A and B are shown apart, each in its own frame.
Chain A
Amino acid sequence: MIIDELVKVFNKADIKIHNFNFKNDNPKLFWEFIKNQTFKGVYIFKDLSKDGIKQIIYVGKAGKFIKSDQTIRNRVDGYLFSPNESKNFPFNDEMNFQFKKFNSKIKYTKEELSLKRNDFSMTTIEIKTDETLSPSMIESFILNKLLKEFGHFPTFNHKI
């Protein structure tokens, strides 16, 4: 719903939406999806077992207003286990999707960081133009809408 509003505010030349979930995709395609996020923008992690807007569990950003090297691909790496850390990556030994960590002082348990694989979904908002809008503005817009209009503070966000 919030993303639909964003699409209405900006035109296709400015932003593009990308989605991934394991329901229809081969797990190997997850890494293909991540590999292709070579642009600046905003990434949203979702837990599809929850209802409506509460599915959004984390909103993050990559890159700047001006042209910058930081991409969603290299930002997202820090949230996931690497092949050296987990043989089934991005899954844990129980073959559930598991986040490695979030940038927060708050410690989460393994259970809190795990989702059934088909419940995990990720949406990215690609910002296609430089010097039009910043990833931090889009990130704060989404978090602002979630909190002020829906009373929702995504589980893994620490600051709004």
Chain B
Amino acid sequence: MCINRTFIRCYGRIFLMKNATQFLKNSFKGGFYFNLIEEFKKNDRYVDFAHETKKSDNINEKFKGVQVIRHKEKNIIYSISSHGTFTRKLNKEPRTSFNSAWKPEERWTPSTILIKERKICRGWKSDRSGDIYNEVYRGFDVKNLTPYDEIYKFLLKIWEKKKNKKDEDHPDNTKPGKKRTQLRQNIDYKKIPELLKINPKIYKEVIDFDKLIIDRFNIDESDKYFTPLFFSEVIRNYFKRNIDEFILEDKK
């Protein structure tokens, strides 16, 4: 059964979220996910982000809540992610606001969202794709760690910027394997769209927003019932339990 047919079947069913326990119980019922979308829509707390990017160029990229990326026609769930956690300060006091208003697209691995290009990219292989990035933008041959002086200078800068400097992380003390990892990790995500144009194979799969639905459930600090993490875990378990109906590509 395709997602949209399931959606129609469940549309209009009364779905109450009294508290976390009720929410958990409901997740064991059929049609849970699409009822959830309806419930959030009613409360103006739901956005199909892929659709939204079509309507306006002025997109607020900051997002607090849970995001589910799925195929429009096939029952494939590409990712389920939570955005916003309560943490502790170093003085042990709990923070009352989320640690940071994270932009979900500000990462390139293992997948990324390119909002302006309206694409999601999946399957970044750090050795292959990271090496292409380093070669194109930095002129480094990561496998052979050359030119040595340039790489040394670059790694030294990374070390100097660190708040918590440890001697073992200084480029004088790191082994070639660690140097390669650092080079592959310190990539400017803003350059990814450009690199993708030159080397489309840096990702295993690139999917256009027009083929996707990106469900965004807005959950901020003041939400009465949910933390984003719990909400996303319940959804992930629901999809995992219903593998006859959904293909879950998110491997968490």
Instruction: Establish whether residues A147 and B240, one from each chain, have CB atoms under 8 Å apart when the complex forms.
Output: no
Q: Which of B94, B225, B229, B233 contacts A134 (CB 8 A)?
A: B233
The answer to whether A32 has its CB under 8 Å from any CB of chain B is: no
Chain-B contact segment, one of A17-25, A38-46, A81-89, A135-143: A135-143
* A137 close to B86 (CB less than 8 A): no
| A111 interface residue per 8 A CB criterion | no
Residue from the list A8, A9, A147 in contact with B86, Cβ < 8 A: A147
Q: Is the CB of A149 within 8 A of B86?
A: no
The listed residue (B19, B227, B236) touching A137 by CB distance below 8 A is B236
Contacting chain A: which of B20-28, B172-180, B193-201?
B20-28
**B4 sits at the interface (CB 8 A):** no
| Total residue contacts A-B, CB cutoff 8 A | 70
Q: Which of A65, A144, A158 contacts B87 (CB 8 A)?
A: A158
Q: Does B90 contact A (CB under 8 A)?
A: yes
| Residues from chain B with Cβ under 8 Å of A133 in the complex | 237
Whether the Cβ atoms of B240 and A131 lie closer than 8 Å is yes
Asked if A141 contacts B86 (CB within 8 A), the reply is: no
- Residues from chain A with a CB closer than 8 A to the CB of B20 are 141, 144-145, 148-149
Is B124 an interface residue when CB atoms closer than 8 A count as contact?
no
Interface residues on A, range: 20 to 34
Determine if B241 and A148 form an interchain contact, defined as CB atoms under 8 angstroms apart. no
Q: Is the CB of B94 within 8 A of A136?
A: no
Using CB atoms, name the residue of chain B closest to A108: B92
Of the residues B24, B86, B225, B241, contact of A153 by C-beta under 8 Å: B86
Task: Tell me whether B234 is interfacial, beta carbon within 8 Å.
Answer: yes
**A160 close to B (CB within 8 Å):** yes
Q: Which residues of B contact A153 (CB under 8 A)?
A: 86, 88, 94
Contact residues of B between 1 and 33, Cβ < 8 Å to A: 19-21, 24-25
Of the listed residues A137, A143, A153, the one surrounded by the most CB atoms of chain B closer than 10 A to its CB is A137
Q: Is the CB of B241 within 8 A of A131?
A: yes
Q: Could you tell me if B25 and A9 are in contact, using CB atoms closer than 8 angstroms?
A: yes
> Is the pair B234, A149 in contact by a Cβ cutoff of 8 Å?
no
Known: A140-B227, A145-B20, A153-B94. A134 touches B86 (CB 8 A): no
- With a cutoff of 8 Å between Cβ atoms, the chain B residues found around residue A9 in the complex are 21, 24-25
Mark contacts of B211-243 with chain A using CB atoms, 8 A cut-off: 1 yes-contact digit, 0 otherwise: 000000000000111110110011011001100
Residues from chain A with Cβ under 8 Å of B87 in the complex:
158-160
Beyond known contacts A134-B237, A137-B233, A159-B229: 17 more, CB 8 A cutoff: A8-B21, A106-B92, A131-B241, A134-B236, A134-B240, A140-B227, A141-B20, A141-B230, A144-B226, A144-B230, A145-B21, A148-B20, A148-B227, A158-B88, A159-B85, A160-B85, A160-B87
Shortest beta-carbon contacts, A-B, top 8: A144-B230, A140-B230, A137-B233, A153-B94, A160-B86, A140-B233, A144-B227, A5-B21
